[in-house]
Structure 1
């Protein structure tokens, strides 16, 4: 039993005892006691009645506090759930669920004399297009070679190197996304879409539906140097 509930029980017990005393006192007065005794019992009855009323008020207050505590507990859980949801949306917690696995790699084709090798290797724009198609298909979370993508994640090229969240990644490149597996695959495999174009140039591109994919949390810094939250009414 919680301390607040125990305290209420004790108060109710004392209240019951006082009500019993009040009943006996009232009965004594009704039995034609001497005047002095009647006056004494009347004063006693008044005191007991006041104590009873005070206890009733205290019991009522305690019950209200217990109810408020219960409501606060529920509100606290609701707030905690909202925080967990916000962290998940922000990419700060690992997630798992159905989705797709996309594996990309450079072309195995041997170059002919005079051919441009850049035509047969993966570029950051290829990854950007795949990510955009996944998001258009309803992806809820995406990672590239273990790097969780946030709203402000960068996918860029530095020389011949692809950087994701400032981390160097090299082929083969595995992109994981949670969401409706069928919808995600359809968004990538659409005729004339990104995967068909990549395959046309000999790049390796495979997508598979998965019942469960695991996507890690973002583990880099989250810094807002110029932005700040806006409170309602500002």
Structure 2
């Protein structure tokens, strides 16, 4: 019968699937004859090309790293972008090789943060023609967040404190700057003044412009965040352990 809904796939029963209850599969739209241009294609403006260095947490001669506009549910979400207006398949061999080094370097920097177990690296590219790679930190011990659905959980979980978020940004920027480039993220300032009251203390939310994406899912909808820095052969800083070495569970999916 044409009205009979399709059976939901097995992944809806995985422990990492963020939803429960009755779920229906949406009908698939008919394919279009011509796909719409992405940002940076045709007559559409490129957000990455027009962004100043001050919008990033670290900048180098050929690569830049930016964050979301405010904290989200994961300890860290960052985007690695090329300075040149190129997509992944357009990279010349030298930049392609540097992308590998920058990917490993940024993964290590994020994984060095307290409370981070894994770093998921993703590239979608359906919204922007300018190369941008996503780096998502999975919290240590949160086994339900393992695997494919981590970007969904980023929008579901309560946002981490802004002070912790800014401190994490500054630490990643400083790590990257050890190999060149310029760190632009600064740690939060310490408030030395004595509080007038011990109640109602908290961090003020960050103002976000209307329409700006504030999570991986929202940004993925809009899509729009050298030879490797001066000493690519330098030894990476040592990462401090954050948990028992034996506690290294892999996602079943």
- The bucket for the TM-score relative to the shorter chain is under 0.3
TM-score by length of 1: 0.28
TM-score by length of 2: 0.26
More strand by share: 1
**Rg bigger for which structure?**
1
